A and B are shown apart, each in its own frame.
Chain A
Amino acid sequence: QKEVEQNSGPLSVPEGAIASLNCTYSDRGSQSFFWYRQYSGKSPELIMFIYSNGDKEDGRFTAQLNKASQYVSLLIRDSQPSDSATYLCAVIKAAGNKLTFGGGTRVLVKP
């Protein structure tokens, strides 16, 4: 079983709709969770961080964490063509430990 799993996509979303991305992780000791956005040919860029169960909102982005079910999700509201990218889920097991990435979900927002 992979440590961090994501559906590779592509997830096709009409402009203005909500994109919903899911990520599951295998280690119950995971403590901190991140969402990165990576445009083609570019490096990953941090967009969200969450460590407590529940929702965390930042602009059009909402991260949702459920430690009991071992999943973290990302919602992108009012999706724009500029949101077309690969979204990487990453987890840290404990303070100071390494960041482990999922394979990423490719999102395509169509005008």
Chain B
Amino acid sequence: ETGVTQTPRHLVMGMTNKKSLKCEQHLGHNAMYWYKQSAKKPLELMFVYSLEERVENNSVPSRFSPECPNSSHLFLHLHTLQPEDSALYLCASSQDTGDLRSNYGYTFGSGTRLTVV
């Protein structure tokens, strides 16, 4: 496996269900991110983990709960979601070197298309 892998690719869940999205990066990066992409809206940053510590939570509702057990794995636990949470959820990773001249480009996974019914 190379790059950033996300599972599942598609998920349909009811509003009372509990599910988890999984992300794994094979790039040796030290930072991982969850983004939400809804139709006709910019990519929204949800969570940032750097060196396995959460460094940012962009006012995301508590029904989304991230977990980063190590630098290669990132989870997003979902419970009691709303239909408006239906979106593409993207995981990304990057290497934060502290040098602006380095390429900070994030590598994205293929995403999980979530539908809440």
* Measured CA separation A89–B30 after assembly (Å): 23
Q: Nearest CB to that of A31 among chain B residues?
A: B100
Contact among B43, B96, B97, B98 for A101, CB-based, below 8 A: B43
* Measured CA separation A100–B56 after assembly (Å): 13
B103:A49 contact, CB within 8 angstroms: yes
* Measured CA separation A98–B55 after assembly (Å): 10
Contacts of A98 in B (CB 8 A): 33, 45, 48, 56
Query: In the assembled complex, how far is the CB of residue B39 from the closest CB belonging to chain A, in whole angstroms?
Result: 11
Whether A46 contacts B100 in the complex (CB less than 8 A), given A98-B56, A99-B45, comes out as no
B104:A92 contact, CB within 8 angstroms: yes
A95:B45 contact, CB within 8 angstroms: no
* Measured CA separation A43–B107 after assembly (Å): 9
A46:B106 contact, CB within 8 angstroms: yes
* Measured CA separation A104–B31 after assembly (Å): 24
Per-position contact with A for B85-113: 1 when CB-CB < 8 Å, else 0? 00000101010111111011111111100
Query: In the assembled complex, how far is the CB of residue B71 from the closest CB belonging to chain A, in whole angstroms?
Result: 15
A43:B45 contact, CB within 8 angstroms: no
Contact among B56, B96, B111 for A95, CB-based, below 8 A: B96
B110:A42 contact, CB within 8 angstroms: yes
Query: In the assembled complex, how far is the CB of residue B8 from the closest CB belonging to chain A, in whole angstroms?
Result: 15
Contacts of B107 in A (CB 8 A): 46
Query: In the assembled complex, how far is the CB of residue B37 from the closest CB belonging to chain A, in whole angstroms?
Result: 9
* Measured CA separation A38–B67 after assembly (Å): 27
B109:A32 contact, CB within 8 angstroms: no
Contact among B92, B100, B108 for A32, CB-based, below 8 A: B100
Interface residues of A (CB under 8 A from B): 2, 4, 31-32, 34, 42-46, 49, 51, 88, 92, 95-96, 98-104
18 contacts between A and B (CB under 8 A): A2-B42, A31-B100, A43-B110, A44-B43, A45-B108, A46-B106, A46-B107, A49-B104, A51-B100, A95-B99, A95-B100, A96-B31, A98-B33, A98-B48, A99-B45, A99-B92, A100-B45, A104-B42
